[in-house]
Amino acid sequence: MYKLNTSTNKLEEVKETTFFENDIKERQHIEEWIRHKPEVLGEDLLIIGHEYDKFEVNERLDLLAVDREGNLVIIEVKRDYTGSQVEFQALKYASYCARLSPQDILEIYMEYLIRFGYEIEAKEELIEFLNVDNEEELNAVLNNSQRIIIVGNEIDKRILSVCTWLYENDLDIKCITMKPYKLDDDILVDINQIIPPYKLEDYYIKKKIPNNRRINVDKNISDFLQGVSSFINSQTDYTANYGGKRDYFVGHQFLNMPWRFVFAYKKKENTASMFIESYNPEIAQLIKEIGENYHSNLEKLLGCDISLTPGSRNKDLMRLTATLNLENYQSIEECLEKFNSTFVKFKKFLKDIINEN
């Protein structure tokens, strides 16, 4: 890592250090960073458990999360060097979590909220986060699959080899490095996803494993959203992967800020929508200001309805939505062309506003 000396126009090296040398602890510090800001792992996660130890065996799971598809995400953290056993440890936890029922998950989350003093109703928060309408739908999407994220400063090559093989054989596993650098009295933390390589995961084709609890998605919906995802990942600098299970999907962070695009298709209403959303109070306020100050400009530019809405259950959530009526389009190709071109305009519009400020 380098910093630019603007007076000399030269790059100066920033020295890599270790967490150990700076007395940064695994549980007290690194896990807390992730617990408070899970988006540093490159996706939208809801943390529901920390140091969970209620399994029949006497072991603690570092962090447990839910992703936007309702999958459980096991997060295993190592301070500096992972050693050669961490992937087996993570696999054990994934096997334990595979047996958790929706009610078990709700109880784990309730315990977590009480422990850390959050005045949030667990079920309502999960319903909001997973964008489902009721408890029945919530139970249908929760824990259909399990994923693993391994985090460490230095990940053993043996671990990387095993994790690569696991990923290529349809086990959803990520390895993320978190490297500290010393800059005067500050510590800079560089976070990188190394398995699967960023963007490469978009091109893996996974086997679909049937599960009786899953909500079946209409083929027209899945074809449309898969077309949107393919366009975004191949034709733009944004990343958004569609899992094929829902009538919406969530993209990655936009402009390295805690807000994301969400893409949805409502077949009954024959509408498709895209919205930028954030739970971060500062960014939610920014979205609110953009929606209020640029509403007419945006409607004119995109040629569709624009709405600004707070979360129905979580008041920290703010969404700016563009909704397209698809009644006048005869084919899925025409719908995709209109939707994708609208997204490109919407994305550029927001980027220009941020750059101006």
* Position 105 in a domain: yes
* Position 208 in a domain: no
The pLDDT, as a whole number, for residue 185 is: 86
Number of domains in the chain: 2
Q: Over its length of 357 residues, how does the chain's per-residue pLDDT go in tens digits?
A: 888 889 999 998 899 998 888 889 988 999 999 999 998 998 889 999 999 887 766 678 899 999 988 999 999 998 766 555 677 888 888 999 999 999 999 999 999 999 999 888 999 999 988 888 788 889 988 998 999 999 988 888 888 888 888 888 888 899 999 999 998 889 999 999 988 876 545 444 444 444 444 445 678 888 999 999 999 999 999 988 888 778 888 888 899 888 999 999 988 888 999 999 998 889 999 999 999 999 999 999 999 999 998 876 666 789 999 999 988 777 889 999 999 999 999 999 999 999 887
Instruction: Please indicate, yes or no, whether residues 191 and 224 belong to a single structural domain of this protein.
Output: no
Instruction: Please indicate, yes or no, whether residues 140 and 282 belong to a single structural domain of this protein.
Output: no
Instruction: Please indicate, yes or no, whether residues 145 and 28 belong to a single structural domain of this protein.
Output: yes
The pLDDT, as a whole number, for residue 72 is: 95
* Position 71 in a domain: yes
| CA distance readout (Å), 337 to 231, 326, 328 | 10, 11, 13
Instruction: Please indicate, yes or no, whether residues 152 and 91 belong to a single structural domain of this protein.
Output: yes
Instruction: Please indicate, yes or no, whether residues 162 and 233 belong to a single structural domain of this protein.
Output: no
Structural element, H or E, at residue 344? helix 332-356
Instruction: Please indicate, yes or no, whether residues 161 and 274 belong to a single structural domain of this protein.
Output: no
The pLDDT, as a whole number, for residue 208 is: 45
Instruction: Please indicate, yes or no, whether residues 233 and 345 belong to a single structural domain of this protein.
Output: yes
Instruction: Please indicate, yes or no, whether residues 157 and 232 belong to a single structural domain of this protein.
Output: no
**Beta-strand runs (E) in the chain:** 2-5, 10-13, 15-16, 45-52, 61-67, 72-77, 146-152, 173-183, 186-195, 248-254, 257-266, 271-278, 305-310, 318-325
Instruction: Please indicate, yes or no, whether residues 30 and 126 belong to a single structural domain of this protein.
Output: yes
Instruction: Please indicate, yes or no, whether residues 182 and 290 belong to a single structural domain of this protein.
Output: no
Distance CA 24, CA 41 (A): 19
The pLDDT, as a whole number, for residue 246 is: 82
Find, among 87, 91, 62, 86, the residue nearest to 75 by Cα: 62
Residue indicated by tokens 């569609």: 242
The pLDDT, as a whole number, for residue 101 is: 93
* Position 143 in a domain: yes
Residue 64, strand partner residues: 49, 74
Whether 298 and 349 have beta carbons less than 8 Å apart is answered as yes
Provide the residue range defining the domain that includes 27.
2-200
